[in-house]
Copies of this chain bind each other. A is one copy, B any other.
């Protein structure tokens, strides 16, 4: 990390013609097959390509005749400053991130540096973000369908985030039964974070919860390990690994990690997917929002107090109170009418 971050002030809005641009390019997992057309074009059109050395190697065959700036792992701000300086000098710059540029990638640090330098979207330097498949998407595709229900992405790196913030998120995600992807799970020095993550998860999840550890997805040294929550911290995990922890319904079958979408709540999966009694295809579950509120009102009318309802539904008492107090604008009867989502 350099601390020399002097940047030239923004040009007068009137100056035109020679200004460059910055493309924040998410290259996907690393294999060109999984790069988008726009990502490829943005790199092809660039005069200067800036990125972490490992990512630069992944796009080596697109770099002929370009100025290439390789930076170290922790030099994100430096990369952004370099990109801005080159763009101010009239260059087209591609600032590459692996996965998606927005997910722990260069989009955030770059905007922070740009704003600090007085840049606005009206500036001569145009900025574009090119989305890509993030590590979570690539790793999930290789292990089955683990993300089929709600999920969280949490970085275990404490280089910029205090541990209590990370720990609270791990605890909340584990308690609320999210599928969780851990980014930056471990490094040469940061070895205990994954142990603490495991500790926090085991307070809420079964020891045999499926866990997949994917290293270098879609790259030459791709390596996948299927394990369980109680074994995960002992596995070979590094900076190129992503750890996927299943929710309470996730299962491993025939070597595939799958989180059910919830069809079993509505259909009898073992009986030709017939609709269960009281449920209707294309409509909210009987335990969906309106059906749930109807049931809540009935329980309350039958004498259940707020504290009891809160404990029974594992939701905050003051939320239950607000729901019961809210006007019933959307009559529960409507829950039975045709869903018009299509």
Contacts and interface: CB of A to CB of B under 8 A. Distances in A.
Interface of A: 1, 3-6, 26, 28-29, 32-38, 40-41, 52-53, 72-74, 76-77, 100-105, 107-112, 115-116, 120-121, 129-134, 137-138, 140-142, 144-155, 158-169, 171-173, 175-178, 184, 187-193, 196, 199-200, 203, 239, 253-256, 258-263, 265-267, 269-270, 272-275, 281-285, 287-293, 313-316, 318-319, 322-323, 329-330, 334-335, 337-342
A101 B146 CA distance: 11
A262 B148 contact: no
A59 to B, nearest CB: 13
Assembly of this chain: how many copies?
2
Given A151-B152, A163-B288, A281-B1, A137 B132 contact: yes
B319 A163 contact: no
B330 A191 contact: yes
Contacts of A101: 141
A43 B7 CA distance: 46
A342 B313 CA distance: 46
A61 to B, nearest CB: 13
A316 to B, nearest CB: 7
Contact of A290 (B120, B187, B192): B192
A189 B339 contact: yes
Nearest to A160: B262
Contacts of A203: 316, 318-319
Contacts of A163: 287-289, 291-293
Given A1-B282, A36-B33, A145-B129, A341 B73 contact: yes
B315 A148 contact: no
